[in-house]
Amino acid sequence: MARSKVAISLDANTLNRLDRLVKAHVFPNRSQAIQEAVAEKISRLDRSRLARECAKLDPAYEKALAEEGISTELAEWPEY
């Protein structure tokens, strides 16, 4: 995957903590640490968005809809 360079600003405390992680070989370098942090944050945001959308669903309606589809399909299945 192609990579792009970006410039970021971090407060001194965050940068010191990041450097300690690199020094402890938790990450090979600052770039990798920041890339993983951003990817994880984006993933968390996606999951929380999905959870919010799922919370909007009406369980009774969804169940009825699923059962309607199943009952139609069951009529088409051969008996064993």
Q: Is residue 41 in some structural domain?
A: yes
pLDDT single digits (tens) 10-52: 999 999 999 999 999 999 999 999 999 999 999 988 888 877 8
Q: What residue numbers bound the domain in which 56 lies?
A: 12-75
Q: Give CA separation, 22 vs 27, 33, 39, 40, in Å.
A: 5, 8, 18, 18
Q: Is residue 3 in some structural domain?
A: no
Number of domains in the chain: 1
Q: Is residue 33 in some structural domain?
A: yes
Q: Is residue 2 in some structural domain?
A: no
Q: Is the pTM of this model over 0.75?
A: no
Q: Is residue 52 in some structural domain?
A: yes
Q: Is residue 43 in some structural domain?
A: yes
Q: Which residue intervals of 1-80 are DSSP H helices?
A: 12-23, 30-55, 59-76
Whether 28 and 22 have beta carbons less than 8 Å apart is answered as yes
